[in-house]
Amino acid sequence: MTRNKVEICGVDTSKLPVLKNEEMRALFKQMHNGDTSARESLVNGNLRLVLSVIQRFNNRGEFVDDLFQVGCIGLMKSIDNFDLSQNVKFSTYAVPMIIGEIRRYLRDNNPIRVSRSLRDIAYKALQVRERLMSKTSKEPTAEEIAKELDIPHEEIVFALDAIQDPVSLFEPIYNDGGDPIFVMDQLSDEKNKDIQWVEELALKEGMRRLNDREKMILRKRFFQGKTQMEVAEEIGISQAQVSRLEKAAIKQMNKNIQS
């Protein structure tokens, strides 16, 4: 069986190595002791991570080679700043930094103009965000960033919002091996809270034969306008479980209505 050879920046992606966790830890220790070849091995052993990240940006019209090179910069920053003493997987730490590096590149090449002062605040906020993430291994809040910069919280939020790239509602944000969760699954629909009475009757009829948990999830999602994350937090299960139960319940409802 032959493998498809795909080259990016002259790298044959079919031959990229994959490091085990024990190998990673040993290489990090060697690197911290001054072994430069260990750092190179860590970079080469995690290029597949960069490949998986840049797939999220395939619809931007950018050259894959350019995104790969920018992603590699984020990877190298992650390797240089990763703290072995923290109980965190390297990939968990590295992915946000690789994404951040790519988003900075896309913002710098974005034709939509943002004022210089607003951009400066946003870049300072992003730098503080990365520093705090490196220190605590968790995502800082806007309030924490504002405190570090001694800038009002509202200005931080406004500046970061101003430089965000548009995102498709159908862009997948999570996939645990089953159905993907899309951006639109995270959004509540304020316009559809007052459902017309005919639609209500049809929905209630379709929900009649669902179990109690399925009914509760659909009521919270479509009658109360809550997001999947909000529903998951309220009933104590994961968002992926809410997504699966919601899709299964809707499928069953359609059968109930048609039968």
Could you give the percent of the chain with pLDDT greater than 70?
Answer: 71
Min mean pLDDT across 64-73, 111-120, 164-173 is at 164-173
**Nearest to 62, CA basis, from 110, 17, 132:** 110
- Residue 233: count of CB within 10 angstroms of its CB: 13
Strand partners, 12: 7
pTM recorded for the entire structure: 0.43
pLDDT interval class at 225 (50, 70, 90): confident
Task: Report pLDDT digits (tens) over 167-222.
Answer: 555 555 555 455 555 555 555 554 444 444 445 555 566 667 788 888 888 888 77
One-letter amino acid at 10 equals G
Q: Tell me, yes or no, if the two domains 1-108 and 110-166 fold the same way.
A: no
Question: Max Cα separation, the chain?
Answer: 71
CATH number, domain 110-166: 1.10.10.10
* Positive or negative: CA dihedral 18, 23, 25, 29: negative
pLDDT of residue 142: 84
pLDDT of residue 30: 92
DSSP, collapsed to helix, strand or coil, labels residue 174 as strand
Helix then strand then coil, in percent of the chain rounded to 5, is 65, 5, 30
Whether 76 and 20 have beta carbons less than 8 Å apart is answered as no
What is the fold of 1-108? Answer: Four Helix Bundle (Hemerythrin (Met), subunit A) (1.20.120)
Whether 215 and 256 have beta carbons less than 8 Å apart is answered as no
Strand partners, 172: 182
* Positive or negative: CA dihedral 90, 91, 96, 97: positive
The CATH label, of 1.10.20, 1.10.3470, 1.10.10, 3.20.14, for the domain at 172-258 is: 1.10.10
Whether 71 and 53 have beta carbons less than 8 Å apart is answered as yes
pLDDT interval class at 76 (50, 70, 90): very high
Task: Report pLDDT digits (tens) over 7-33.
Answer: 555 566 667 777 888 888 899 999 989
Could you give the percent of the chain with pLDDT greater than 90?
Answer: 5
pLDDT interval class at 60 (50, 70, 90): low
Per domain, the residue ranges of the chain are 1-108, 110-166, 172-258
Distance CA 56, CA 69 (A): 15
pLDDT of residue 192: 45
Q: Which residue did the predictor score with more confidence, 113 or 158?
A: 158
Q: Which residue did the predictor score with more confidence, 120 or 115?
A: 120
